[in-house]
Structure 1
Amino acid sequence: MKVQKVSPNIGAVIHGVDLSKPLGNQQFQEVHDALMENLVIFFRDQTISPGQQKEFGARFGKLHVHPAAPGLIEGHPEILVIKADENSKRVAGEEWHSDVSCDPEPPMGSILYLTEVPPDGAGDTMFANTYRAYETLSDPIKRMLEGMTAIHDGEHVYRGRYANDRGKEYPRQEHPLICTHPVTGRKTLFVNRTFTTRIVQLRKQESDAVLEMLYRHLETPELHCRFQWQPNSIAFWDNRCAQHHALWDYYPNRRYGHRVTICGEKPVYRA
């Protein structure tokens, strides 16, 4: 297996791994270690079935079922269909976010496999390193944020996006602004434009101002990498220390794939 970095701070392409075959213990550990080091890893020229995608994801933990999106593939409720075409009014992931951060136990990671991509290099996904986002804050801001929590709400994100959601309740949860990664022990900035609505300990105007500052900081280009999709490519990102933003610059062209998400744990802050 060969690991080729795509930027100094985040992202690497993995060569020499065929994900249509079960990973041996050593190969699994190498892939796991590459993910922990690079936050998001990419695979090219993969041909896998929904079952094989689920098998790969399940090596890393229990598979997550999305709280809002209906299962569109019979027998595979864990598969989230990612689809956009000439009829789309919106697409998933147009704002910087960490997947389903409104859950009480947000996902550990997500594995997206695209089989159809737009022409001319459109439809890229950008990824941000939230370790570096925390580390590059000034010391006074770090001290201010320690111990603070924020509300992550799925209601405004999911309501009306999917059919037949009348009476459905979407998750809403309070998480620390600064979290400690359970594997690496590094601190990460855990707020995002999509789901985070309010810092609990601040007045609304104060919360809005601080969150906007943090969002702009997370959007600093030096924290990012950009992945150009090709047919049958895979991106696997660690939601605990990376955010992503899907560019919708390809309307009315088609983009199609499947995402598997891995369950995580309750975010915590350890001083």
Structure 2
Amino acid sequence: MTITQSTKVGSPPLRDHRVPGDTLVEGPRTVRRLAPGQVDKPYQLFELAPLGPLLGAEIRGLDLSRPLTPALREELHRALLEWKVLFFRAQRLSSRAQRDFARTWGELETNPFLATGDDSEVARFDRNALPTFENVWHADTTFRENPSLGAVLQLHQLPPAGGDTMWADMGAAYDNLPPEVRERVDGLRAVHDFLPGFARFAAPEQLARFQEEFPPVEHPVVRVHPETGRRTLFVNVSFTTRIVGLEREESDRLLRQLFQQAHLPEVQVRYRWRPGDIAFWDNRATQHYAVNDYAPHRRVAERVAIVGDRPY
């Protein structure tokens, strides 16, 4: 950003006052909720209350412990694609009911880096202090060839205050890149690895085994959402290590700029939990951040993840 120098006669020259251009600058933001071709029409089987103009909506009038009819599943899926993260208040589902709901969207994913609840398909997050790995902007399991389609998270125990979760719309994050940066990153590929996110939590012998099981993978820097066709920024601090074909310094500089895009408040929604609440998000379209501001109090959540497809 450069301010035009005054041309008034006798005005002294201005000192160099440019801001380094690899982070964020002020100005208008592009806020576009739907991809081209998506039709914004009312919902017939439940009430939807937006939490913001871009992403995040509360679904009212449903009991998720009951099986979904095909029509209800179809309408919820449309809401997921249009709002990227859906919230359901006070559901208080059993682990089995939570799994059954998630299975409506496909095969379930297990994650050997996470503690489990009563079932291997249910990840359990029981936190009351550091260390933690959720309080950074990230998409889940991008170190896999087929990262998660999405996840269903339920909060069981909350601190007296704090413990919110935030989501960012990575389609809108892509839209807000400068045109020359969008042109540059379209077609680039990046390496994703589990090590930055999980290495510090595993013993050396575990790391050796996991490195064989989860070798680095390449994904496009900008993926096309397989259902909406929207271009979304698909790099994250937890798992993206470098951009293929660039020197390390150039790769690091570009990744810093791309990572910063999730930090725009205009592309975010923040959710304040109550016990028994459910969040269901599209991992292909969003990143999320679990705010770690509640120590020494306890926060307990369980998550079921759904297997996705290979990004293209």
Instruction: Tell me the TM-score normalized by structure 2.
Output: 0.81
Judged with a 3 Å threshold, the aligned counterparts in structure 2 of structure 1 residues 166 and 216 are, in CA distance, closer, same or farther, namely closer
Q: Which residue of 2 aligns with 1:119?
A: 160
d(CA) in 2 for partners of 1:97, 1:78:
21
The equivalent position to 2:186 in structure 1, one of 133, 146, 167, is: 146
Q: Which residue of 1 aligns with 2:90?
A: 45
Q: Which residue of 2 aligns with 1:97?
A: 138
Q: Is the 8 A contact 1:98 1:239 kept in 2?
A: yes
Judged with a 3 Å threshold, the aligned counterparts in structure 2 of structure 1 residues 25 and 94 are, in CA distance, closer, same or farther, namely same
Amino acid at match of 1:264: G
1:160-239 to structure 2, matched below 5 A, reads 160-162=200-202, 165=206, 167-170=208-211, 171=214, 172-239=216-283
Q: Is the 8 A contact 1:82 1:92 kept in 2?
A: no
d(CA) in 1 for partners of 2:257, 2:301:
34
Match of 2:187, SS state, is coil
Amino acid at match of 1:237: W
The structure that has the greater radius of gyration is 2
2:80 matched to 1:35? yes
Count, aligned residues:
263
Name whichever of 164-173 and 92-101 sits farther off.
Answer: 164-173
Judged with a 3 Å threshold, the aligned counterparts in structure 2 of structure 1 residues 22 and 92 are, in CA distance, closer, same or farther, namely farther
d(CA) in 2 for partners of 1:159, 1:62:
27
Q: Which residue of 2 aligns with 1:58?
A: 103
d(CA) in 2 for partners of 1:182, 1:215:
22
d(CA) in 1 for partners of 2:176, 2:302:
34
Percent identity, aligned pairs only, is 38
- The Cα of 1:5 is off from its aligned counterpart by 0.5
Q: Deviations over 1:220-262 (max 9, x none)?
A: 1111000001111111110101000010000000100210000
Q: Is the 8 A contact 2:174 2:231 kept in 1?
A: yes
d(CA) in 1 for partners of 2:126, 2:281:
19
- The Cα of 1:92 is off from its aligned counterpart by 3.5
Q: Is the 8 A contact 1:35 1:237 kept in 2?
A: yes
The equivalent position to 1:19 in structure 2, one of 61, 64, 68, is: 64
Q: Which has the higher strand share?
A: 1
The equivalent position to 1:82 in structure 2, one of 125, 145, 151, is: 125
Q: Deviations over 1:163-222 (max 9, x none)?
A: 772532242211000100011011100011111110112111001111111111221111
Q: Is the 8 A contact 2:115 2:125 kept in 1?
A: no
Q: Which runs of 4+ in 1 moved over 6 A?
A: none
